[in-house]
Chain A
């Protein structure tokens, strides 16, 4: 009974994860290509994708390494891009915090934007799910994503420079991010937070070491939360 319900949760997650193949493969391919073009060898390129699994921060690190930034700055900037993972971790904690520690460790290692976004939406809309079902669902979502992340980094690294610049592959990254943002704009506070994030990020783009993005993210979260409170109060009166 329990086994079959976790089993079906896993396959539900797997099906929900499949569309992200279209998001993840170009992103991984792109990283492989860009890393190789930046002079990393195959092992180093794969090292990034296997040890880190966080595209945006991998691109950040690469770019700063190309600019010969100090090692500490490279690491701190790329980690700043990943600060959102701590926020994902906190928002998943109430749903899967009771899972065994080793499972939580795997969940943490595999925590990517798509897995988080898909899982949190499902947990919120289906509160009747048990903890084992939630964990199974999460691993289901990850299954079609992470192995392809490794594989397409490898393909990208091998194909390397044979992709012509007319393909405008540089813009695959922004388009996949934007495509994920659209469906997230569920309420007016979400829209206000997104608008604030854009305005603040552009306004603070001059701040060194990617800290402008951190300022923008914090400001946008506060604006979203305050807007939510304001609309709640307005609804009551």
Chain B
């Protein structure tokens, strides 16, 4: 970018500053430079931490404000009362209208959200376009059966304490990818405290590696896909890869 002239000027300037070591001037110059540095730093931090998330995510409201607490109290089988396994082994996920109608043929109470639900959806027969916080990309295959039925995992491990929510959270949609913010996690830095804070591939891998370290037969990712450092497992080598019995793309991808 710089032309010869620019370069010449630069040298001159440098010469000037070194030749006139007036402290005050220098300090002031340093100060200004520092201020600019700080402005840049703070500004970009603000952009990165405060504005960027606002730009990245759009806020969406669930069509109906759903109260899990009330529902969990009203059913007998906990989560599986509504989020159940079908006979063919598939997982039903978010209930369809037909399921809700079982109880909500008519409004059960005075709650305006319920009235709205009955009016807009039950009577008209329109499915509720729920926004699914945990929706994964199409290339992901996830078996609820193997985790819940065979692995005996609790729903909370991945989904958190959603069953204790009285209101539906705002659904934050990533404008770029179209997926929920829950996949990457609330924390933009990607830090997590609890197992349910994030739902990325590394989070699957982390748990699986832990189990593998304990000697369980689970799928782990072959090196070098799983390049993230894991303190509790020695770095995988090609030797390890061959010995691992449960690995391969199609286990988690379709």
A associates with B: no
Q: Point out residues on A near B: beta carbons under 8 Å.
A: none
Q: Point out residues on B near A: beta carbons under 8 Å.
A: none
